[in-house]
Chains A and B, each alone.
Chain A
Amino acid sequence: DQQVKQNSPSLSVQEGRISILNCDYTNSMFDYFLWYKKYPAEGPTFLISISSIKDKNEDGRFTVFLNKSAKHLSLHIVPSQPGDSAVYFCAALSNFGNEKLTFGTGTRLTIIP
C-alpha cells in the first residue's frame, strides 16, 4: 500500500525553466511533508518542508505547495540549474505515534543545459 505516490519516475527540463515535481498521498493523518534530494552514491538530503497548516513554503529557488483537499503537493524549482539534476523524494509524517517518514518512489529530474 503506497501511501505516498510520485507518479512521474522521470522529468527533463531545460536549464532556466521551471521544474515541477508532483506528489500525492492517501493517508489523511499526514500533517507534515518534506522533499529530499538524492545524488548518486549519497544519502538523501533535506530540501524543504511544509506543515499542513500552510499551503505554501518558499526557500530561495524552491517552493512547495500543498493542496490538502486534493491530497497533493508539488515542488517548484525556478530557475532550474544543472546542479538540480538528482532524484527527488517526497515524504510525509503523521502526527500520531513516532512520526517515521513515509517516502514516495522518487522522481529523477534531469536539467538539460
Chain B
Amino acid sequence: DSGVTQTPKHLITATGQRVTLRCSPRSGDLSVYWYQQSLDQGLQFLIQYYNGEERAKGNILERFSAQQFPDLHSELNLSSLELGDSALYFCASSPRDRGRYGYTFGSGTRLTVV
C-alpha cells in the first residue's frame, strides 16, 4: 500500500456519460497530480493541485476538470466521455509542490468507455 488511495479501481461507462475519479493523497502530502496512461503510451500529465489550488495544467481536455478539497483529497471529473478516453488514470501525491521531493502513485483507476 503506497498510501495514495484511488477509487474506484475499475469503471465501465457509456459514451456521453460523466464520471468522477477520486484520490486521497498520502498523509502529509499537499500536492496531487493526475496522469493518464492510454494503451502503449507513457504517463501523460493532466493537472496538478497544491494545497487546494491549481498549480499546473498539462494536456487536459476541456471536458475534464479537477479539484482539490480542504481535506486534500482530489477528484477528476470526466464528462461527455468518448471511446478514446478509455485509459488508466493515476493519481500521485508529493509533500510539496516540487516533484523532486518524490511522487507516490496510487494503483490507478481503469476507465473503459463502451
User: Which residues of A are in contact with B by a Cβ distance under 8 Å?
Assistant: 2, 4, 6, 9, 32, 36, 41-46, 49, 89, 93, 97-106
Contact = CB atoms under 8 A, between A and B. Distances in A.
A100 B45 contact: yes
Given A41-B107, A45-B105, A106-B42, A100 B56 contact: yes
Contacts of B2: 43, 45
**Size band of the interface chain B makes with A:** 20 to 34
- Report whether over half of chain A's contact residues are helix, strand or loop; otherwise say mixed: loop
B107 A101 contact: no
B11 to A, nearest CB: 15
Contact of B42 (A41, A99, A104): A104
B45 A101 contact: yes
Contacts of A105: 40-42
A49 B101 CA distance: 11
Interface stretch (B62-70, B76-84, B92-100): B92-100
